[in-house]
Amino acid sequence: MPTEGEADRILQLEEEVQQLKEAVVSHAVVDQAIGVVVALGRVSPDQGWTVLREVSQHTNVKLRDVAATIVASGRTGVLPPGLRAELRKALDRVGAPGCPDAAGSDVPVRPAGPPCARDAVAGP
């Protein structure tokens, strides 16, 4: 039978283990969201991290919650308007490639592939 001090230490360690489990899950979601932003905005992973951080700061929403919403939007196609607007602004700030102009030459401005960032985060 553990002593009172040992029981307190066990409780403290159990709480720490739970916090670490939550941190691992949160980190995985943030990494997934960075991947979505990288693919969406055609930016580097470092720029993707910057975008997530800026969206979190400008919307006053916890980073892990922004990340979870962005990951979910990859499945559902639904992104709340305020978050979508901040995501577009953050992508613009890091220099995400823009969309080609409608009036241009026959030469493609960007390679074929997923839509550019402004198309993907455009709202109704």
93-110: pLDDT as tens digits: 998 886 433 333 333 333
pLDDT for residue 121: 56
pLDDT at position 98, please?
Answer: 61
Separation CA 3–CA 43 (nearest Å):
55
pTM greater than 0.75: no
What is the per-residue pLDDT across 61-97, written as a single tens digit (0 to 9) for each? 999 999 999 999 988 888 999 999 999 999 999 988 8
Residue 117 clears pLDDT 80, i.e. is over it? no
The candidate with the shortest Cα–Cα distance to 26, out of 65, 54, 60, 61, is 65
